[in-house]
A and B are shown apart, each in its own frame.
Chain A
Amino acid sequence: MGDVTLEHVTKRYEDVTAVDDMNLAINDGEFICLVGPSGCGKSTTMEMIAGLTMPTEGEVFIGGREVTNLPPKDRGIAMVFQNIALFPHMDVYDNISFGLRLRKYDKEEIDRRVERASDIVQLEGMLDRMPDEMSGGQRQRVAIARAIVRNPEVFLMDEPLANLDAKLRVHMRTELQRLHKELDTTIIYVTHDQAEAMTMSDRIAVIDSGQLQQIDPPLVCYNEPANLFVAGFIGSPSMNFVDGEVTEAGFHGKNVEVDFDPADVGVSPGDDVTLGVRPEDVYTEDEQAGIAHPTKRIEATTDVLEPMGDEIFVYLLLSEDATTSMDDASEGMSDQLLMSVDPDSSITEDQDVSVVLDRAKLHLFDTETGEAIQHGIATTTTTSTDSSTPAESDD
C-alpha cells in the first residue's frame, strides 16, 4: 500500500530550519502536489520521504511501515528528478533496468518489465539509444520508465517538468495524469508552479517557510484559502488584497468599503483585517447584472491593460495619488486593484470606471495572523441589496 505519513517531521540545518514540524497524511493512490515558492522546504520534504535526507526530528511512514531511518533503496519508492538524472554512461535499456538488475531479477523478467514500461511511456525502438542522443522530452520519459519499471508503492517527482519547454510541459502534464490513472499508485509531486499543481493533483499541499499552510483539493485551496499566503499563491494572477479595519458598518479600507454585520462574520469593530478578492470577481458597472450580491461601487481609473486573448487584465488605480510601483503592491495593494474583463469589452487605458466586487467571492483575513476569517460575505447579510442602493446615492 502506498500511503505516506509524516509525523512532526523537522529538518534543521546549522542555522536554518528547512522543514518545521510537518504533518502530512497522503492516501494510497492519491496524486498530491507539494507546492510553494523556492526555498520553502518542499524539496527537502520530498527528500526526507525518499530517504535522501534524514529528518532531524519526527517520523516517516510509507505503507504503514516506519521508514525514518531506512536507506532509499528499502523504502519501496521511485523518484523522477528535476535534472532528469539519467545515467549518461548507460543506454536506455540499462537505465530503465538499473534497479531491476541490482535486485537480481532474471533476464526474461527484466526484458518483460522494461518492454511494458517503455510501452507505457511510448519509448518503443529507442532502448539502445544513449541519453545524450535524445531530446529533453524523451529523456524525461526514460526517467519515468525507470521509475515505473519497479512497480513502486510511491512515486516521488521533484519538479520533473521544470527543464522542459512550455509546450512539452503542458503535454507531459496530461501524460502524467494519464499515467496516474493507468498505474493507480500514489504520486507525490513537487512543484513551484501553482498551475501545474492545480491541473494535476487530487490534493494540493501548500508549503511556505517549511510549514504546511493548507492541504486540500485544488478548488478548495482556490475558493477557500486557509490564509493570506495560500490566497496569494494559488491562482494567477494572484488575489487582490486590501488592508482595512472592521467598523460597526462592516469593512472600511482606504478606498474600498463593504457593509456587513461584524457579529455575523465573527469579527469585532476595531480589528485589522485584509479583504481579498480575485481579479475575476471584480466587475465593471455594466457587468454587475450577472452577480447577485454586488458591493458598493468603487471609483477607479484604468492604468494598464494586459490582453490575454480569452480575457483582459485591467490594472485599476483607486485614488489620485496611487502609484504603480511594486512596493505599494506588496503592502496590501490598497491603491490598486486587478480586474479581469471580457475580451470584447471596450475598456481603454486611463478611463474612469466604477467597479463592484462580488460579495459571494470576498475573503476576509486577519491581517495580523493571516488566517482566513470568512469566505463569501453575501451569505451572512440579508441587507446586501439594500446597502448597495444608498451607496450609489452617496457617490
Chain B
Amino acid sequence: MATENEQQSGIGKQGDADIKRGPLERWVGAAIKNPKRAYRAMFYVATVFFLVTTLFPFYWLLVLALTPNNLISDMGLLPKGFNPEVFITMFERVPFHLYMFNSFVLGLSTTIIVLLLASLAGYVFGRLRFPGRSALMLGILAISYFPPAAFFLPLFELFTGGTDIVLGPVTVSSPDLFNTPAPMVLPFSALFMPLSIFILTTFYGQIPDGLEDAARVEGTTRLGALFRVIIPLSAPGVATAGVLTFISVYNEFFFSFLMNNGEASSWAPIVAGILKYQGQFDTPYNLMAAASIVGVLPVAILVIVAQERIVSGLTAGALKE
C-alpha cells in the first residue's frame, strides 16, 4: 500500500510536468488547489453581470439621446452622430424644469408627512408594549401589499368631487382636488408609509430606554424625547426611510399619471413631462431619452450623497450597556 501511494504521488508530479495544459486548464487546476480564486472569479462575474444589466439601460438612453431623431433606426451599440444640443432642445419644447419642480414638491411633501407620522408610529411600535401590537404591525404589513391600483377608482371618485359626504343633516360633495398635489401626496403617503414604519420601528426600538428616561427626567415630554434624542440618534434610519420614500414617489407612475391632466401647471410630475414630448405626428425619442436622463440625475445624486449619511453610524460606542 505504501509503495502504491508513493507511486501515485509520483505520477501526479510527473503529470504536472508532462501534460501540456492550456490557460483554462491551468486556471482550473489552480482554482482547485485554492478555492478562493474560484469564489473571487464568481464574485467578478456576478458583479459584472449586475453592472451591465443595471447600467446598460442608462447607456442606451444616452445613445438614443445623442443620436438625432431622424437617424434612430437600426441602432447599434454606438450613437449614430453626436447631438448634445438635445439637452437644450428638450427644455425648449416642454417646460421640463417645471415638471421636475412638481416632482420635487410631491416627493418632499410626501417624505415629510411620511417621516412625521411613521416616526410616531415607529416610536409606539418600537418602544411601547401594549396588547395587539403584533396584530397591528401585521395589519400594516398586509396593507402595504395591497395593489395600489385597487385604491384608484374610489380615490379618484373621492378626489374629483364625485362622493357625497354626509355630515349630520348636511350632505356635501367631496372637494374637487383633481390637478392639485393632494390627490397624489395623500395616496403616496399612505402607500409608502408601511415601509418607513418598519424601518423606523427597528431603529427606534434599538435606542436604550435609559436615554429616553434621561431626557424625560431632564425635562422633555415623551414626544420631546422622540424629537430631541431618539430621532437624532436614529439619523441613519430616518435618512434611509426618507430617501426610500422620496425615490418611490419620484418614480411613481400610476397616481402621478392619472390624478392630473398632464400639464405642468396642474402639478403633473416628470412622467407626464416625458410623455408630453410625444406629438401627434412624431415621437422624438431623442428628446424623451434626454429628459429621462435629466430626470434620473437628481435621484442618482441623492443616493450617492445619502449613501454616506446612511453608512455613517452616529450611535457607535455611545453607550455603556
Contact = CB atoms under 8 A, between A and B. Distances in A.
Interface of A: 50-52, 71-73, 77-79, 81-89, 98-99, 102-103, 131-132, 136, 139, 146, 150, 156, 163
B46 interface: no
Interface string B202-239: 00000010110111111111001000010011000000
B43 to A, nearest CB: 35
Interface string B304-315: 000000000011
B314 A73 contact: no
Contact of A146 (B213, B218, B315): B218
Given A136-B320, A163-B320, A87 B219 contact: no
Nearest to A143: B214
A266 to B, nearest CB: 47
Given A73-B216, A87-B215, A89-B233, A82 B221 contact: no
B166 interface: no
B214 A87 contact: yes
Most buried by A among B214, B216, B219, B233: B214
A146 B214 CA distance: 10
The 3 closest A-B pairs by CB, nearest first: A88-B318, A85-B210, A99-B218
Contacts of A84: 210, 319-320
A139 B210 CA distance: 14
B213 A73 contact: no
A98 B211 CA distance: 12
Given A84-B320, A85-B208, 14 more contacts: A50-B213, A50-B217, A51-B217, A72-B216, A73-B217, A73-B221, A81-B213, A83-B210, A84-B319, A85-B319, A102-B220, A103-B219, A131-B318, A156-B217
A136 B320 CA distance: 8
B308 to A, nearest CB: 17
A88 B320 contact: no
Contacts of B214: 79, 81, 85-87
A82 B210 CA distance: 8
B317 interface: yes
A320 to B, nearest CB: 50
B210 A102 contact: no
Nearest to B221: A71
Given A79-B213, A82-B210, A102-B224, A89 B218 contact: no
B316 interface: yes
Contact of A139 (B213, B216, B320): B320
10 contacts: A78-B217, A83-B210, A85-B211, A85-B213, A86-B214, A88-B211, A88-B314, A88-B317, A88-B319, A98-B215
A148 B316 CA distance: 27
A86 B320 CA distance: 10
B321 interface: yes
Interface string B285-321: 0000000000000000000000000000011111111
Contacts of A139: 320
A81 B217 CA distance: 11
A79 B215 contact: no
Contacts of B320: 83-84, 136, 139, 163
B243 to A, nearest CB: 20
A98 B316 CA distance: 21
Nearest to A78: B217
B219 A99 contact: yes
Contacts of B316: 132
Most buried by A among B232, B319, B321: B319
A258 to B, nearest CB: 50
A89 B210 contact: no
A88 B233 contact: yes
Nearest to B214: A85
A102 B213 CA distance: 15
Given A85-B210, A89-B233, A72 B217 contact: yes
Nearest to A130: B318
Contacts of B219: 73, 98-99, 102-103
Contact of A87 (B211, B217, B221, B224): B211
A89 to B, nearest CB: 5
Given A50-B217, A71-B216, A73-B221, A83 B233 contact: no
Nearest to B218: A99
Contacts of A102: 218-220, 224
A132 B317 contact: yes
B231 to A, nearest CB: 10
A89 B220 contact: no
A244 B314 CA distance: 62
Contacts of A77: 217
Contacts of A99: 218-219
A297 B119 CA distance: 73
A325 B317 CA distance: 43
B237 to A, nearest CB: 14
Contacts of A72: 213, 216-217
Interface in B87-137: none
Nearest to B208: A83
Contacts of B232: 89
A149 to B, nearest CB: 10
B314 to A, nearest CB: 6
Contacts of B210: 81-85
A73 B217 CA distance: 5
A88 B317 CA distance: 8
A196 B124 CA distance: 38
